[in-house]
Structure 1
Amino acid sequence: MSGHGKVRLAAGWTALAWTLWARAQEVTPTVVVEGPRASLQAAQQVRREQLAIVDAVAADAIQALPDFSVTDALQRVTGVQVARDRGEGGAVAIRGLTQMSTTFNGREVFTAGSGRNLDFADVPAEMVAGIDVYKSGMAEQIEGGLGGAIDLRGRRPFDFAGRRLAGTARLVRDELAGHSQPQWSLLASERWRGAGAAEFGALLNLVHQRRAWREDQSSFGAPLPRTDLLAGRQVAAASSHTESSSAGRRERDAAAVTLQWRPAAGAEVYAEGRYERFRTRQDTYQIVLANGAGVLPGSVTLFPGTSDVSRVTWLRAPVSIFSFARDTVDRNRALALGGGWKLGALRLKADLSHSDSHNALYFAGPILAGQLDAVGVDLSGPQPVVTAAGEDLRDPSRLRLARVSYAARPYDGKLDALRLDAGYRMTGWLDELSVGVRAAARAAGNAPGLVTADAPVPGEPSLLAMPALAAAYPYPAFMPDGGRGLDHYLAGSLDLARDVAALRRQLGVTAPLPAAGPLGMWRIRERTTAAYLQARFHADPAALEGNAGLRAVRTREAVQGMQSLPSSGALAPIALTHAYLDYLPSLNLRLQLADAWYLRGAASKSLTRPNFDQLSPSLTLLSNSITPSANSGSAGNPALQPIRANNLDLALERYFGQSGAATLTLFHKRVTGFITNLSQAETHDGAVYQVSRPYNSNPALVRGAELGYQQTYDFLPGWLSGLGLQANYTLVDSATPNALLGADIPLPNLSRHSVNLVGIYQRAGWSGRVAYNWRSRFLSNVNNYVGLGVLPVYSEGYGWLDASVACKLSPGLTVALEGGNLLRTIRRANFGAETRPQSWWSNDRQLSVTLRYQFD
């Protein structure tokens, strides 16, 4: 397009945008809305009414797209980025920081592990009434959110005017896996009215999900300098190539029971119980090709203008074939009892809760070894092409049973908490004064510890000698969306992979499964006591509202583990305690500039405590009797301080119509105490060791801007009046020191740019959404590679497209067609340059038919 054409196009879009904006300012009559418009209105109301800076997602918006878990819904919130895990949303970050506070109905919740947060993938999307993402802090909120806080709002019976029966039935087909699986949910709620103002309500929410999945990954080892591939020239060639096909089933089961009782006006008592189980069953076939002993003459070519190998044919290449089961399970339970009382201007609240969580990993399977006469690797295209000569890997006589692998790792945790809050409404400029206390006792551990029990197979027999352990690669093709891989080979059978004792017996491994080493186990008990004071105020002439508060929290940690004593070869228990006190002030201001125009400002201090494995006191010492200066060791650090941040936010907001909003938010975070491993000299058992421990060291600067817009175009004529749009853009600039580079780098796994576009339609019983999520490339890690120095690993930017279309068959019955990952996105990573690829990932496209029902 010419420069004049671009100018005319920009002018046209500007004129259209101005017309839509002007029409949106016209007064429209109040109507009852539902579906997509109701979800936009609910999200707008949350942000507008809160004094803190908050973004929200309502249940209608979550259910309007094929979101399996809460993570899938979070990916479309301004300032939130998610990783991908087997085709679904994975780890969550707010403005680039994964350290956040996670709550359910305001109560702290978690998934057992080395970290502290809830894995949002544990919670099915149908279990929540909404999600609130707090970007600025308040004194009344539970501490722990360095980047922010995410509160999941569960349903309660008093949310409905009376009886409610609703649910879904869905059949999901995953194209790459080639299987269809059922999912369903049920919500049943009832209210009973007693004498006077007395009311009682009960709610039951059940969800069951099953989804087949498959993910293919093609990976290359770090590049190595070679002088034997091209005469007189040093080139860089990948050190290895790995192809993995993983498939299986994901299951989510969840249940929630809530009881509410209002014995009289102004009084309420509630009891809540929740249960979630999230299980991933995975079968993986993986082939690892090491570089061969030689290369085919004339087969080596380079990427133009580089020293990076683009094509090569290796001769006599060693091969390892891994077949393994890798299963994980999370189980979370929570109970809560509480109530609230309003006595005139006085408001009282109490909440007592218990939660516990278990997380486990199981990994086992046989390992084969062999050799390929020749293997060709071509990286010149958009995806790798890997070929092998002959039938080498389909001949069982050329493969031997080398090893059997096994690993198991448990985590457990529990939390008991009591919270008391009081508020008193005032007159004059001070609207309300609130105070509260919270006491919590949390425990975490990994007993009986990580067990790793890889064992050699006696004699490494040929696979031909044990034909029952032979299994062909089970899929029609590897990476079917492009490229080519090795998809015609024999692997080890997984029939006994989930019975490792029987597998070891069949392979002739007589050594019993070992117990975990005590040096790898830890147990931590943490007690926190917090108190806050918060005032809400206003100034009428300036149309100013706000709250200011201070939260004081004392943390005491008691950690237990084991330490080695090299002088005697014995182990001894070690137990340490550590305590610290933090003061966390916060200020939130909202100034009404004009009708529906708001300016917000927020300032706060926040913290996140170290991960549990970083606090472990367990100490491993390795002495060197020949060279004492080479004595080494490793341990956690119970003296770690929290990571702390000073936060500033400034937001400009414009609200129009029933659901329209345009927002601009600027943020600035200065973080201190990021944790990194350092090696320092320590004296133990009368000798000096270089011990590697985590320390608070690195600061970070995180700043950026968020743009948000949403509107329904009811004023347009005819069928166009059903259109609507949600759009947001986030810019995050971050910097933290890196010791390897001696310079600042961005925070890992943080994209500088991210965009969400959601097209909406609702009219005459039809509704639909098309959601596109895109994030720019991001730094994964930085490592030092032999011969090449320090190289970054980047994941390239990618987009993700989901969509749905629904038809209302009757007032209470809707049928929908839904699709996830419609573009079959290929994700890529490289060692700092496209000519040095690191990984490709291919995931399923998911298609589903959903029936939704609701009766009052």
Structure 2
Amino acid sequence: MTSLNAWNLRASRLLLGCSALAVFAAGNANAQTAAPASTDGGASAATPADAIVVTGVRASLQSAQNIKRNSSQIVDSIVAEDIGKLPDRNIAESLQRISGIQIQRQYGEGSSVQIRGLTQVRTELNGRDIFTASAAGEGTSPAGTFSLEDMPSELLAGIDVYKNPSSDLIEDQLSGTINLRTRKPFDFNGFKIAASVGNTYYDLVKKSKPSASLLVSDRWDTGIGEIGVLVSASYQRTAFRQDTISTEPFNTLDTSLKSDGTPNNPADYAAASTLGRLDQTTTLAHGTGIGEVYGDRRRFGLDASVQWKPTDTLELTGEVFRNDYKFRFDDYSYFAEPAGAQMSPEPGAAFTFAPNGDVISGTYNNIALAANTSLETRHSRTTDYSLNAKWKPTDRLTITADGQYVDAKTQDVRSIIGLNGVGDGTLVQDISGSTPAFSITTPEGVTNPASYNAGFYLDDLNHARAKDKAVRLDAEYKFDGLLQSIKAGFRYADRSNVFSDTGYRYVGLATAPTDTEVVDLGDFFHGDASIPSEGLFFSRNTTLSYSDTLASLGISSPATYLPSGTSTQSQKTYAGYVAAFFKADQLPVPIDGNVGVRFVRTQQAVTGYYQQTDLITASDGSQSTGATTSSLVDFANSYNSWLPSLNLRAHLTDKLQLRFAASKNISRPSLSQLNPALTITEPGKAQINQEHDTTGGNPYLKPMKSTNLDVSAEWYFSRTGSLTAAGFYKDIKNYIQTGISARDVTFSDGVTATYNVTSYSNAADAKVKGFELSYQQFFDFLPGALKGLGLQANFTYVDSKAPSPATEGPVHDVSLEGLSKYNYNIVGIYERGKISARLAYNWRSQFLVTTSGNGSGNLPVFEKPFGQMDASITFNVTPHFALTLNGVNLLNTMTSTYYGIKTRPRDAIVNDRQISGVAKITF
């Protein structure tokens, strides 16, 4: 723990030093005077004579608060009032600061979000569709949406999160809509340029990576009207390392006897007999191992928009948005597993067990080493073309026409080389602590190539191409009196996805590869884990090149795409809506709101193949991929949906308002969830005792339907001060959950293997309820330099219940996947003079990772509670130049998962801490 404590001490000193610098600088800088609160609670601007220019964090919070307050429905926002200055550089991590939102992290970065406990989130770009083409690789979850980790946040002006639907919003979400807003040239009064450069250090992988962004915008009065042009670009490189200690799936020993007195399961009976536990329930882990993952991300985003206002009544906007994302990870994984079907306890060795019979520590013989080196790459590109026309022929009538075309592509490569041990090793394992510990020995020595007698190679190539064409027409007519306006519109969208997959190709290696290296594992978990200090692996330098890997193993060509490996999915929607907006301000308690209904017709069609590949065994015992057989699955479906909505707001005072909302909504199964394709490859001799997994969709899935009730109370006591509380309830029909079923597959050579098939089903009804509390304020009443102190805090409680796919065992009902019952954020802010600083802590309680984990005995997999601390400090050297220092994961948080029961640990994971410096200039 010495290095960890030293790092934390340095980090603490850094934060204390930043705080001291902030107070000192603020006390000596020109004080930023707060504008006086207006009678409407701070929503209106100061009069020109009293105008105060508010910038930085305070301005961003003020803008976000005004959006929330003045919206006709329940919405939360994040606003980058200063260009390129969202609170976090990753979009998902920015969203976690909003009440009701929880995020999932992947390799140290936020990658996906849940709103009020549900993952069925709609992502939009400027109110239109945006998505990542679905492939089988990393980072594209939840399927059918935009992968939030792909986009650099510098391209955005803000993010709006709509938590309840209204009839004019596009359907297809249960939890909410995330709208990513880019900047437009008419957002600025004239010429604008902003640029930033930065560098980030990642302490576990010990690398630094650069970033840069540029925005240029201008507008002109011409003979044909006013024209504006904006171009914005962002480039980011990141690195990461993730260390994982895994405990292999648990199974309870079967000590039952046949009628003739012989064991039903000889291996299980022998293990229990050695342990002296034939008359006791005993559950053993199936081994242990580690994973050391290295990787990097490259993000490049480009946004170009042109606005033209030929007359005072007509405005046209054209925009091209392109996001290009590359992701790579390669890893060493090192496992100790039984040479046979069951772990072999060492006779006479000390073992400890939990009261329920789950093993805690012990020693095992006949252990086979398994050392894998692998590579995965993903390249995703999404290009969005849009054209919008807004026409106001009269003061009362506004007509808006909008067209969009999205072209998204994803390519994925997976390559795995495995070394298989001779099976003469000894494993000492202890899972009693928060960090599992183990050691492995073999007579030959674990780094001696003689410890391995065989190997295998697996590769899989896939790519996806998704397209979307959408047009919509909206009209709004305004009235005087109780009825303020009528809004109506129509939208047509046509989305398609083509997915091609080679399926995993298996090549058995009669001898272990010779292109190997000894890897030092001494700094694993920052040196704070008790694991083997080194291991022998296939060369990582070779693995980093797919072609070099094939050449090293003597494989002549890449995996082959077959016609049966391609599946197609299409979806057409026709939607129309009408909404009435009203305002009764003469009542003792003024009320306004809207009521409407949306009608949607959905047409879906999917095709895919069940594909099975056998192996060929040569005379020398080597194995290779053989014939593939396939059968087509073709399915089409259509359905209609009526989606009413009501939003009411009561103005109790100028600063206090109440909201009530009721609505119905649907969330369609994603195109990848409907994909009927399923690929199964026969396992080789080296894998026959291992776990076999595959994944396929379900073309018969129904759309999920929710009935939603929302209430909120909002008190806006200053321009940047508010206290809000919200309650919500969702009743969901046909909820889609992940399930795993066992399927026995017999191949042409007579080999039978059991596959755990992960797929989707419409589980019984699910219910979600909870409440949110949110508070923000700057403490302007404090004296002197302390006036710059502020606080943001929110708390979310979400309770949900859905049936587990498991039909037996100790766990029957579970929460919804990805949902923590409790979640809170605390952000300390300092904003005064030239200093802007934040210290943020995010915590979430235990949550369900999956309802049925592979190899878990059909038990759900849970992640334990954890929190993460991030910080940033900005020094505004001049009004046009600023320097920022950011810190992420300062507490070196370790996350842990377990198989259904806390005595059955699964993974313990640590990621990089990050320190970055950014210089920014704006004119």
Partner of 1:352: 403
Partner of 2:504: 452
The answer to whether 1:44 aligns with 2:89 is no
The answer to whether 1:766 aligns with 2:827 is no
Q: Deviations over 1:726-764 (max 9, x none)?
A: 101110000112242575321122100000111100112
SS of the residue aligned with 1:594? coil
Cα distance in structure 2, aligned partners of 1:347 and 1:728: 38
Cα distance in structure 1, aligned partners of 2:611 and 2:502: 18
SS of the residue aligned with 2:384? strand
Cα distance in structure 2, aligned partners of 1:160 and 1:530: 35
The answer to whether 1:308 aligns with 2:308 is no
Instruction: Kindly report which structure 2 residues correspond to 1:159-170, keeping only aligned pairs within 5 A, or say none.
Output: 159-170=187-198
Partner of 2:672: 613
Cα distance in structure 1, aligned partners of 2:849 and 2:569: 30
CA separation of 1:324/1:95 partners in 2, compared to 1, >3 Å: closer, same or farther?
Answer: same
CA separation of 1:573/1:221 partners in 2, compared to 1, >3 Å: closer, same or farther?
Answer: closer
State the one-letter code of the partner of 1:583: W
CA contact (8 A) 2:483 2:582 kept: yes
Give 1:207's match in structure 2, choosing from 216, 231, 234.
234
Cα distance in structure 1, aligned partners of 2:524 and 2:498: 40
CA separation of 1:82/1:61 partners in 2, compared to 1, >3 Å: closer, same or farther?
Answer: farther
Give 1:335's match in structure 2, choosing from 381, 385, 389.
385
Give 1:380's match in structure 2, choosing from 425, 432, 435.
432
SS of the residue aligned with 1:648? strand
Q: CA deviation at 1:505?
A: 4.0
SS of the residue aligned with 2:525? coil
Partner of 2:538: 492
Instruction: Kindly report which structure 2 residues correspond to 1:406-425, keeping only aligned pairs within 5 A, or say none.
Output: 406-425=459-478
Cα distance in structure 2, aligned partners of 1:125 and 1:564: 41
The answer to whether 1:819 aligns with 2:887 is yes
Q: CA deviation at 1:389?
A: 3.5
Q: Deviations over 1:360-395 (max 9, x none)?
A: 221114211224632322222231222234772221
CA separation of 1:451/1:783 partners in 2, compared to 1, >3 Å: closer, same or farther?
Answer: closer
CA contact (8 A) 1:382 1:483 kept: no
Give 2:653's match in structure 1, choosing from 576, 594, 600.
594
The answer to whether 1:127 aligns with 2:155 is yes
The answer to whether 1:718 aligns with 2:777 is no
CA contact (8 A) 1:452 1:516 kept: no
CA contact (8 A) 1:220 1:838 kept: yes
Cα distance in structure 1, aligned partners of 2:869 and 2:853: 36
Cα distance in structure 1, aligned partners of 2:563 and 2:288: 35
Structure 1: tracts of 5 or more residues without a match:
1-22, 623-632, 682-690
Q: CA deviation at 1:696?
A: 3.2
Partner of 2:571: 526
Cα distance in structure 2, aligned partners of 1:609 and 1:437: 19
The answer to whether 1:137 aligns with 2:165 is yes
CA contact (8 A) 1:110 1:116 kept: yes
Instruction: Kindly report which structure 2 residues correspond to 1:290-309, keeping only aligned pairs within 5 A, or say none.
Output: 290-291=337-338, 294-303=344-353, 305-309=355-359
Partner of 2:524: 478
Partner of 1:19: none
Q: CA deviation at 1:638?
A: 3.9
Q: CA deviation at 1:277?
A: 1.3
Partner of 2:686: none
Q: CA deviation at 1:105?
A: 0.4
Partner of 1:258: 305
SS of the residue aligned with 1:394? coil
CA separation of 1:527/1:833 partners in 2, compared to 1, >3 Å: closer, same or farther?
Answer: closer
Give 1:428's match in structure 2, choosing from 445, 459, 481.
481
Cα distance in structure 2, aligned partners of 1:741 and 1:679: 11
Q: Deviations over 1:622-662 (max 9, x none)?
A: 9xxxxxxxxxx998554433111000100000001111111
Partner of 1:366: 417
Q: CA deviation at 1:280?
A: 1.3
Partner of 1:645: 706
Q: CA deviation at 1:602?
A: 0.5
Q: Deviations over 1:299-320 (max 9, x none)?
A: 4332564523222222231011
Q: CA deviation at 1:490?
A: 1.5
Partner of 2:644: 585
Q: CA deviation at 1:853?
A: 1.2
Q: CA deviation at 1:440?
A: 0.9
Q: CA deviation at 1:824?
A: 0.8
CA separation of 1:817/1:139 partners in 2, compared to 1, >3 Å: closer, same or farther?
Answer: same
Q: Deviations over 1:397-444 (max 9, x none)?
A: 333451122111222201011111111111111111111111111111
Partner of 1:655: 716
Q: CA deviation at 1:247?
A: 0.8
CA contact (8 A) 1:528 1:555 kept: yes
Cα distance in structure 2, aligned partners of 1:621 and 1:460: 25
CA contact (8 A) 1:405 1:454 kept: yes
Give 1:147's match in structure 2, choosing from 168, 172, 175.
175
Cα distance in structure 2, aligned partners of 1:782 and 1:638: 20
Partner of 1:11: none
Partner of 1:747: 816
Give 2:918's match in structure 1, choosing from 838, 850, 854.
850
CA separation of 1:761/1:692 partners in 2, compared to 1, >3 Å: closer, same or farther?
Answer: closer
CA separation of 1:453/1:474 partners in 2, compared to 1, >3 Å: closer, same or farther?
Answer: farther
State the one-letter code of the partner of 2:326: R
Q: Deviations over 1:654-685 (max 9, x none)?
A: 0011111111000000000123569999xxxx
CA separation of 1:727/1:489 partners in 2, compared to 1, >3 Å: closer, same or farther?
Answer: same
Q: Deviations over 1:62-82 (max 9, x none)?
A: 965773321121111111111
Cα distance in structure 2, aligned partners of 1:145 and 1:38: 31
Q: Deviations over 1:803-851 (max 9, x none)?
A: 0111111111011111011111000111234332111010000001111
CA separation of 1:321/1:778 partners in 2, compared to 1, >3 Å: closer, same or farther?
Answer: same
Cα distance in structure 1, aligned partners of 2:898 and 2:449: 35
CA contact (8 A) 2:817 2:851 kept: no
Greater mean alpha carbon deviation, residues 494-503 or residues 695-704: 494-503
CA contact (8 A) 2:84 2:155 kept: no
CA contact (8 A) 2:708 2:731 kept: yes
State the one-letter code of the partner of 2:220: W
CA contact (8 A) 1:478 1:484 kept: no
SS of the residue aligned with 1:432? strand
CA separation of 1:770/1:825 partners in 2, compared to 1, >3 Å: closer, same or farther?
Answer: same
Q: How many residues align?
A: 802
Compute the TM-score of the two structures, normalised by the length of structure 1. 0.88
The answer to whether 1:80 aligns with 2:101 is yes
Q: CA deviation at 1:783?
A: 4.1
Cα distance in structure 2, aligned partners of 1:844 and 1:730: 27
CA separation of 1:381/1:441 partners in 2, compared to 1, >3 Å: closer, same or farther?
Answer: same
Partner of 1:443: 496
CA separation of 1:247/1:737 partners in 2, compared to 1, >3 Å: closer, same or farther?
Answer: same
Cα distance in structure 2, aligned partners of 1:659 and 1:826: 35
The answer to whether 1:231 aligns with 2:300 is no
Compute the TM-score of the two structures, normalised by the length of structure 2. 0.82
CA contact (8 A) 1:200 1:259 kept: yes
The answer to whether 1:737 aligns with 2:737 is no
RMSD: 3.0
Structure 2: tracts of 5 or more residues without a match:
1-35, 136-142, 254-271, 613-627, 682-693, 744-756
CA contact (8 A) 1:25 1:656 kept: no
CA separation of 1:412/1:300 partners in 2, compared to 1, >3 Å: closer, same or farther?
Answer: farther
Q: CA deviation at 1:525?
A: 1.9
Q: Percent of pairs identical after alignment?
A: 34
